[in-house]
Amino acid sequence: MIRLVNLWKRFGRKEVLRGVSLTIEDGETLAILGKSGTGKTVTLKHILGLLYPDRGEVYVDGLRVDRAGRKELYALRRRFGYVFQGAALFDSMTVYENVALPLVEQKRYRDEEIRARVRQALEMVDLAGTEALYPSELSGGMRKRVGIARAIVHAPEFLLYDEPTAGLDPVTADRINDLMLNLKENLDVTGVMVTHDLRSALRVADRLVLLDEGEVVVDTPVDRILEVTHPAFRQFLEASGIMHGR
Amino acid sequence: MRFWIERLGQLVVLLREVVLSLREIHLTPRLTVVEIEKIGVRSLPVVLLTSLFIGMVSAVQTAYQIRDYVPLDYLGVGIAKAVMIELGPVITGLVVAGRSGAGIAAELGSMRVTEQIDALAVMGINPVRYLVLPRLLAGLISLPMLTILAEFTAIVASAFVAEAILRLPLTLFVQGIRLFFNPLDLMGGLLKSLVFGGVIALMGSFHGYYTEGGAAGVGRATTEAVVSSSVLILAMDYLLGTLIYG
Ligand SMILES: Nc1ncnc2c1ncn2[C@@H]1O[C@H](COP(=O)(O)OP(=O)(O)OP(=O)(O)O)[C@@H](O)[C@H]1O
Ligand SMILES: [Mg+2]
C-alpha cells in the first residue's frame, strides 16, 4: 500500500503541492489526471524519495519513505519500476544495456537470465530487434517504450507511470494499455499512472484522481465518474469526448 | 546571500555522499577507467601542445629577464624550477578545467535535466557512487600524470630553444638542473596537481549534478564549472604554495 499524507512542497516561491493526500491499495491502479504543471510528476517523485516534502508523510507498506535511511530506501526502490515522462534512457548505452541495467546492478541474475528477461521485456513493448541501437537512433515513441521495458524488466511489485501513452499513436497506445492491464491483472502489480489520456485511464485504472493547483479535488472509482460534479473534472470529461455538454 | 549559503549546503551534501559512497568503491574501477580515458587520455594532446609553447616561451623570456644579472648557465635550473613548482601544475590544471571540467558539468547536467539521474536512483543505484565518484577518482589520478608529462615536454622544449636560438649548450642547461634539483620542487608541484584534479572533477560534478532548468541550465552549469574551478585552482595554488614553500 502506498499512502501520501498531506504533502506540501514548494520550489522557490511556487507552492507546488498544497496538502496532497492519496492512498493506493495493493493490486489497485490509480490514475492521476490534471492540467500541465499542477504537480503530477512532483507527486509521483515523492513516492520513491526522489523529492522530499516540506511537510507531510509518505508511506509504502508501512515504511516512512521521507524518513527512511539510504539502505531501506534503496531496497524499497528496487521493488518499483518507474516510467519517466521523457523516458530518461541513458544515452551512452544501447537499448539492451539500458533495459538490462536494473538486473545487472542487482547482481542476483545470471547472464542467460538477464538476456532472456531483456528480450521478453522488449517483446512486450514490440521492440524486439532494437537491442543494439542507441537512444539517439530511436523515435520518441520508441524511446518511451524502451523506458517501459526498463521499468518492468525486473518484475516490480509497484509501477509508477508518468504519461505512459503520451506521444504514441493510438494503436501503440492501446498495446501499452493492454500491457499495463495485463501487469495489473496477472502479476498483481500496484500502479500509479499520471496521464492526460482519459481513455487510457478508464481502461487501466480502478480509481481516478484529479489534481488541480497542487490539491486533490476529485477522488473517484472509475465506474462512478459520471456522478462527479466538480466543474474541472466535468470539463476534463467533456474535453476528452467522454461526455457531451449537459 | 541566501543563494550562496544554499549552494554551499548542496556542496557539503554532495561531499558527504561522496565520502559515504567510498564504501562501494570496489564497484567503481571499470567506470573510473572510462573517465580516465575521457579526462586524462583525451586531454593529452592539448596539454602537451600548451606545455610545448610554455617551454619555448619560457626559454626566450627568462633569458631576457636574467641577462643583465645572472649568467645564462643558470637558465635551465630557473626554468625547470618554475615549471615544476608553478607552471606545470597550474597550466595543466587550467587547460583541463576548461576541457574536462566543462565536459563533466555538461554531461551530468544533461543527465539531470533529462531525469537520467533520477532513473539511476530508481534502479537502486546511488548516482553519486555511479557518476561522481569515478570522475573524482579519475581527476585525482589523471592530473598528476598529465602534469609530469607536461613538465617533461616544457623542459625539453625550452632546452631546444635555448640551444637553437640562445646558443646555450644542452650540457650546460642539463648540468644546471642536475646541480640544483630538489625533490621538493617536483613533489610539491605534483601535490598541487593532485588537488587541482580533485577541484576540477568536484566542481564539474557539483554544477552538473545540481543543474536546474533545461538546456539553458546545462549551459550555465558548464560555465560555472569552468569559472569556479579556474578560480579555485589559482586560490589553492597560493594556499599550497605558502604551505609548501613559504
Ligand atoms: N526540480 C524543480 N525545481 C523547480 N521547480 C520545479 C521542479 N520540479 C517541478 N517544478 C515546478 O513544479 C510545478 C509542477 O511540475 P510537475 O512536473 O509536477 O507538473 P506536471 O503536473 O507533471 O505537468 P506536465 O503534465 O506538464 O508534466 C511546475 O510549475 C514546475 O515548474
Ligand atoms: Mg509531468
Ligand 1 pocket test, pick from A7, A42, A196, A211 with the greatest ligand atom count within 8 Å of Cβ, gives A42
C-alpha cell at A58: 509518505
What span, in angstroms and rounded, lies between the C-alpha atoms of B105 and B219? 9
pLDDT tens digits, B12-62: 999 999 999 999 898 899 999 999 999 999 999 999 999 999 999 999 999
User: Does any CB of chain A come closer than 8 Å to the CB of residue B6?
Assistant: no
Atom number of ligand 1 nearest to Cα A45: 18
Does the pLDDT at position A243 exceed 80? Answer: no
Interchain proximity B115–A86, CB inside 8 Å: yes
Average pLDDT over every residue of B220-224: 97
Burial of residue A164 (CB within 10 Å: 0-12, 13-18, 19+) is buried
- For chain A, what is the radius of gyration of the CA atoms? 18
DSSP A154: T
Phi (first) and psi of residue B187, to 5 degrees: -65, -45
As for how many domains chain B has, the answer is 1
pLDDT tens digits, A133-188: 999 999 988 999 999 999 999 999 999 999 999 888 999 899 899 999 999 998 89
Ligand 1 pocket test, pick from A7, A41, A54 with the greatest ligand atom count within 8 Å of Cβ, gives A41
ipTM computed for the complex: 0.92
Asked if residue A232 lies in contact with residue A217, where contact means CB atoms within 8 angstroms, the answer is yes
Conformational region of residue B204, where left means phi above 0, alpha means psi within -120 to 50, and beta covers everything else: alpha
pLDDT tens digits, B68-111: 999 888 999 999 999 999 999 999 999 999 999 999 999 999 99
Domain region containing B139: 25-241
- Predicted confidence at residue A244, as pLDDT, reads 62
Asked if residue A7 lies in contact with residue A21, where contact means CB atoms within 8 angstroms, the answer is yes
Whether residue B1 lies inside any domain: the answer is no
pLDDT tens digits, A48-106: 999 999 999 999 999 999 999 988 999 999 999 999 999 999 999 999 999 999 999 87
C-alpha cell at B160: 631546444
User: Beta strands of chain A (E only): which ranges?
Assistant: 2-11, 14-24, 29-34, 55-60, 63-64, 80-83, 158-162, 190-194, 207-212, 215-221
Query: What's the farthest any 2 CA atoms get from each other in chain B?
Result: 68
Whether residue B119 lies inside any domain: the answer is yes
Indicate the residue of A74, A88, A106 with minimum beta-carbon distance to B119.
Answer: A88
User: Residue B245: which pLDDT band, with cuts at 50, 70 and 90?
Assistant: very high
Burial of residue B152 (CB within 10 Å: 0-12, 13-18, 19+) is middle
Go through chain B and tell me how many residues it has.
246
% of chain A at pLDDT higher than 70: 98
Single out the residue of A81, A4, A80, A9 nearest to residue A38, CA to CA.
A9
Distances (CA, A) of A136 to A93, A132, A133, A235: 10, 12, 8, 38
Which chain A residues are within 8 Å of B125, Cβ to Cβ?
Answer: 101, 105
C-alpha cell at A233: 473534472
Amino acid at B217: G
- Predicted confidence at residue A107, as pLDDT, reads 78
Whether residue B64 lies inside any domain: the answer is yes
Does the pLDDT at position A241 exceed 80? Answer: no
Asked if residue A84 lies in contact with residue A146, where contact means CB atoms within 8 angstroms, the answer is no
DSSP A87-139: ----TTS-HHHHHHHHHHHHT-S-HHHHHHHHHHHHHHTT-TT-TT--GGGS-
What span, in angstroms and rounded, lies between the C-alpha atoms of B77 and B59? 11
What span, in angstroms and rounded, lies between the C-alpha atoms of A180 and A193? 10
Higher pLDDT, B136 or B246: B136
- Average pLDDT in chain B: 95
C-alpha cell at A83: 516510467
Going from the Cα of A50 to the center of ligand 2, the distance in angstroms, rounded, reads 14
Q: Which of A228-232, B70-74, B205-209 has the highest mean pLDDT?
A: B205-209
Single out the residue of A80, A81, A94 nearest to residue A151, CA to CA.
A81
Number of other CB atoms surrounding residue A4 within 10 Å: 24
Asked if residue B213 lies in contact with residue B108, where contact means CB atoms within 8 angstroms, the answer is no
Min Cα separation B110/chain A (Å): 10
Q: Which residues line ligand 1 (CB under 6 A)?
A: A 11, 14, 16, 34, 36-42, 85; B 212
Whether residue B167 lies inside any domain: the answer is yes
- Predicted confidence at residue A12, as pLDDT, reads 87
Single out the residue of B139, B180, B146 nearest to residue B39, CA to CA.
B139
% of chain B at pLDDT higher than 70: 100
> What's the pTM value of the predicted model, to 2 decimals?
0.91
User: Residue A238: which pLDDT band, with cuts at 50, 70 and 90?
Assistant: confident
What span, in angstroms and rounded, lies between the C-alpha atoms of B72 and A144? 69
Interchain proximity B114–A86, CB inside 8 Å: yes
Cβ contacts of A232 within 8 Å, gap of 6 or more: A210, A212, A217, A218
The string over A14-39, giving b where at least 16 C-beta atoms fall within 10 Å of a residue's C-beta and e elsewhere, is: eebbbebebebeeebbbbbbbeeebb
Q: Hey, is B13 helix, strand or coil?
A: helix
Min Cα separation B169/chain A (Å): 52
User: Does any CB of chain A come closer than 8 Å to the CB of residue B126?
Assistant: yes
Whether residue B51 lies inside any domain: the answer is yes
Number of other CB atoms surrounding residue A93 within 10 Å: 14
Query: Residues A173, A176, A177, CA angle at the centre, nearest 5°?
Result: 85
- Predicted confidence at residue B150, as pLDDT, reads 98
- Predicted confidence at residue A239, as pLDDT, reads 84
Whether residue B5 lies inside any domain: the answer is no
Whether residue B3 lies inside any domain: the answer is no
Whether residue B122 lies inside any domain: the answer is yes
- Average pLDDT in chain A: 93
